[in-house]
Amino acid sequence: MYIGFIGDIVGRPGRKIIKENLKNLKDEFNIDFVIANGENASHGFGLTIKNCDELLKSGIDIITGGNHSFDKRADMEALLKSPNVLRPDNYPQGVSGTGLAIKELINGEKIAVLNLMGIYGMPTTENPFNWATKRIEELHAQNIKNIIIDFHAEATSEKRVMMMMFKSQVSAIFGTHTHVGTDDLTICEDTAYLSDIGLTGCRDNVIGMDSHVPIKKATTGLGGHFDVPNNCKSILQMVVTQIENEKAIDAFKIKLYDDGQRVITKAFCEK
């Protein structure tokens, strides 16, 4: 089976390029299931019910979250009742929703999506590494080994630790949050790994946001409200992983630009 994972969707430009291209990409690359991080999908901060419905109708199967999951609090409380919307699983006890979804595909195979959040620079959570150990043990006890982890974290070192701990135990570990794609797509001991997929949205500003406020903050120390431009040059970034017998056997990243250009990079396979 082929699993697609889209990086952080940022605002209307991200939703638009997905709506215009995802279904064709699924057909072209025989993608069976699509995961996407949607915590920035509604004007850069959180996710509304309306925008969630738009993304699911565009061909996304599971929407994961992160530190902005609850920016649209009322909408998110309602969305988390859906089995298709996750928030980081290691939020403390008492937070609505879950970060684990188990789905059965058309061919009868089961796939688990586990959403976790890192420690550095993030809201208070349970330790993601210990939490992942517990969750993976539970899934293996249910004979579920097709496991995809969205690790929403600031530090690449934390993401690398996650890979070193759980390679060969899960099918894929993909980082989100920084909005900047990294160049380390690998398959290591049957696990696909990428430190950060990168954003889907505006590519000609600062992490998907209009550049004026980030420049002002960088030069004067005075911040402001980050805003997503309505018009910009955009990009869709997605990793596609081929999984057989619960092992990643191939992976590649697609960078699709709004002008039709695209770059496809294959994973390096560690021997």
CA atoms of 146 and 1, how far apart (whole Å)? 10
Contacts of 242 (CB under 8 A, 6+ apart): 1, 2, 248, 249, 250, 251
Catalytic residue among 43, 68, 177, 179: 68
Catalytic, 179? Answer no
Q: For residue 175, which of 240, 133, 117 has the smallest C-alpha distance?
A: 117
Q: For residue 237, which of 3, 8, 62 has the smallest C-alpha distance?
A: 8
Contacts of 142 (CB under 8 A, 6+ apart): none
* DSSP assignment of 121-141: TS-----HHHHHHHHHHHHHH
Run of H or E residues at 64: strand 62-64
Coil, strand, or helix at residue 30? coil
List residues with catalytic annotation.
68
